[in-house]
């Protein structure tokens, strides 16, 4: 089961946000490609996730080295949980304030994956969530010893994909609506 909590960066959720982060196993950080301000806030939210996860892991068996676990040894300062950076409103290219290259560069800097999406046109919305779940499954397999010693870690910007991780989606993923006529709504959280 996947539970999604959407705070939309609203300040009234600040008190609860740390608890939600502690309980969260994966995160989708969303900014609007038409808003430089929303893009600038991503690093703040990422750092909050990192801080809360580091402090909550200090009592865990892996202790303070949790962020430097072998699962996160790929590239960048990878998080202990899957993080996906999403540039929303890709349908508003003429109003673009943040380039795709800037989004990719930030994702690389943060050690997470990146995709541009359009909630309005249902493009790459499901892909963002599928990818977070895929990364979480890979992480759990590694933690359970399900990976051979000769295989490199996946996820967290490593650019490697587990062939058993589920379907590979094209660059612009759009769900097949023909089978789901009653579910034509698309919501980006």
Residue-range domains of the chain with CATH? 24-53+66-143 (3.40.50.300)
Q: DSSP character for 56?
A: H
182 confidence band (pLDDT: 50, 70, 90): very low
Write out pLDDT tens, residues 55-112: 877 655 444 433 433 333 344 444 568 999 999 999 999 999 999 999 999 999 999 9
11 confidence band (pLDDT: 50, 70, 90): low
Q: Give the pLDDT of residue 95.
A: 97
CA-nearest of 110, 115, 136 to 125 is: 115
Asked if pLDDT for residue 125 goes beyond 90, the answer is yes
Decide: 112 and 77 in contact? Cβ < 8 Å: no
CA-nearest of 143, 177, 142 to 162 is: 142
Distances (CA, A) of 1 to 88, 133, 153, 155, 189: 24, 10, 25, 21, 16
Q: DSSP character for 70?
A: G
In the numeric block, which tokens belong to residue 86?
Answer: 């999403």
């Amino acid at each position: 089961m996947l539970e999604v909590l959407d705070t939309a960066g609203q300040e009234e959720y600040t008190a609860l946000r740390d608890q939600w982060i502690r309980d969260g196993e994966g995160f989708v950080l969303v900014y609007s490609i038409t808003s430089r301000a929303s893009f600038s806030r991503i690093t703040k939210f990422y750092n909050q996730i990192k801080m809360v996860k580091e402090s909550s892991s200090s009592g865990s068996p892996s202790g303070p080295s949790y962020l430097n676990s072998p699962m996160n040894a790929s590239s960048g300062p990878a998080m202990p949980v899957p993080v996906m950076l999403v540039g929303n409103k890709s349908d508003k290219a003429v109003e673009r304030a943040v380039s795709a290259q800037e989004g990719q560069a930030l994702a690389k800097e943060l050690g997470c994956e990146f995709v541009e999406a359009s909630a309005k046109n249902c493009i790459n919305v499901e892909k963002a969530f599928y990818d977070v779940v895929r990364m979480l499954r890979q992480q759990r397999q590694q933690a359970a010893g399900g990976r051979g010693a000769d295989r490199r870690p996946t996820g967290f910007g490593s650019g490697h994909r587990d062939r058993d991780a589920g379907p590979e989606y094209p660059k612009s993923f759009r769900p097949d609506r023909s089978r789901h006529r009653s579910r034509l709504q698309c919501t980006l959280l």
